[in-house]
A and B are shown apart, each in its own frame.
Chain A
Amino acid sequence: MTTEPKIREISPDETLEVCARQIIVSYFHQMMSYKEGAKDGSDIEFVHQMRVTSRRLRAAMDNFADCFPEKSFKKHYKKIKLITQTMGAVRDLDVLIVRFEKELGALPEIEQADIRKLIEHLQQEREDARKPMLMLFVELEETDFEKKFLTFFQGY
């Protein structure tokens, strides 16, 4: 799994508008490629990569906003922001759980018990944080978001 931007083929002599479309579409495809893994949830890397790529996509959209009609652009931007935020809630808990699990082995037994209780508490919070994420995925599918986004940004 990689977050390397797949934008090497951009020609710097092309117009900004043409390149902006290529980059946004490329990041979008990359972001959505992690969705099924994130939904499954057994490998925490998928949520991480989907969140990182959504941030890269937003950074690109911030830079290229002027290339697109404002109203529709904002609607799509808000949805990507919501994806980042929803994934972020899960990712933050994944990071904490992994961090405390790693530290467990080095602790005396009595402290281990305290940290184990904390990990259980965080795992429950993680389950709760996954619910909005899964609901968002359903909404994206039901509203045909992927197709609408690509139609708008591919433009032709």
Chain B
Amino acid sequence: MAKAHKITGVVLQGSYRENARIILPQKVEEVYTWEPFIRDAARREELHNMRISIKRLRYTMEIFQVAYRSPKMPAKTAATTNDKRFNEFLGVIVDLQEILGDVHDCDVVLEVLTDYGMQAEQGGVAPGIAKHIAQTQETRNADYKTFLEKWEHLSAIDFKQKLLSFLAS
């Protein structure tokens, strides 16, 4: 698993609100460093690394959500404006994390079944295991396709720029 990119430029005595706008764009950029690899379904490691970067972005957004509420508006009003938009962006990130999680789960199951099948049976892989391998591969293909469709849709609507603009606001 790739390490988190080092965060730079934080202002220790600056406000939490100010630093949210320094840190979060860096987390978005970390996610996009994996983009060149994701159109190849066989790049398991890179897909996994993108999932981890997305998870880091999600957790960081949750940590900084409070920094995107308008200071001049009462809490109840703010919840219907900025919070709503924030939650929409966060929802997209969670959705991507989940579908990449499904792809990764299939990759892990395939690895376990293949290793186990090779260890356990000298006369060939047991029928129950072989069938499971085939089914899991099908599920993996379908999940990967779903992920890629979602990603391409987000690219088409310029999701990255919209997210960065919102986070900088």
Which of A's residues lie within 8 Å of B, judged by CB? 5, 7-8, 10-17, 19, 23, 55-56, 58-60, 62-67, 92, 95-96, 99, 103, 107, 110-115, 117-118, 121-122
Whether B128 contacts A115 by the Cβ 8 Å rule is yes
Residue of B nearest to A99 (CB): B109
Residue B112 CB within 8 A of the other chain: yes
Rounded to whole Å, the gap between the CB of B115 and the closest CB of chain A is 10
Whether A13 contacts B15 by the Cβ 8 Å rule is yes
Partner of B16, one of A10, A55, A96: A10
Rounded to whole Å, the gap between the CB of A31 and the closest CB of chain B is 13
Partner of B14, one of A15, A60, A112, A114: A15
Whether B69 contacts A12 by the Cβ 8 Å rule is yes
Number of interface residues of B (CB under 8 A): 38
Whether B109 contacts A7 by the Cβ 8 Å rule is no
Instruction: List 8 A-B pairs, minimum CB-CB distance, nearest first.
Output: A114-B128, A111-B128, A59-B59, A12-B17, A114-B126, A12-B67, A16-B19, A19-B16
Residues of B with C-beta under 8 A to A13: 15-17, 71
Q: Can you list 15 contacts pairing A with B, beta carbon distance less than 8 Å?
A: A11-B16, A12-B20, A12-B71, A14-B16, A16-B16, A59-B55, A59-B59, A60-B59, A63-B60, A65-B7, A66-B10, A67-B12, A110-B127, A115-B132, A121-B120
Whether B128 contacts A63 by the Cβ 8 Å rule is no
A11–B109 Cα distance when bound, in Å, is 44
Whether B16 contacts A92 by the Cβ 8 Å rule is no
Which of B's residues lie within 8 Å of A, judged by CB? 4, 6-7, 10-20, 23, 55-56, 59-60, 62-63, 66-67, 69, 71, 105, 108-109, 112-113, 116, 120, 126-129, 131-132
A156–B113 Cα distance when bound, in Å, is 52
**Number of interchain pairs (Cβ within 8 Å):** 101
Rounded to whole Å, the gap between the CB of A150 and the closest CB of chain B is 19
The binding surface of chain A is classed by DSSP as helix
Whether B14 contacts A16 by the Cβ 8 Å rule is yes
Partner of A55, one of B17, B23, B59: B59
Residue of A nearest to B6 (CB): A65
Whether A95 contacts B23 by the Cβ 8 Å rule is no
A100–B10 Cα distance when bound, in Å, is 46
A111–B133 Cα distance when bound, in Å, is 12
Residues of A with C-beta under 8 A to B60: 59, 63
Residue of A nearest to B13 (CB): A15
- 18 additional contacts (CB under 8 A) given A12-B15, A14-B16, A15-B14: A7-B66, A10-B16, A10-B66, A12-B20, A13-B16, A23-B63, A55-B55, A56-B59, A59-B55, A59-B56, A59-B59, A63-B63, A66-B10, A92-B108, A99-B105, A107-B128, A118-B120, A118-B129
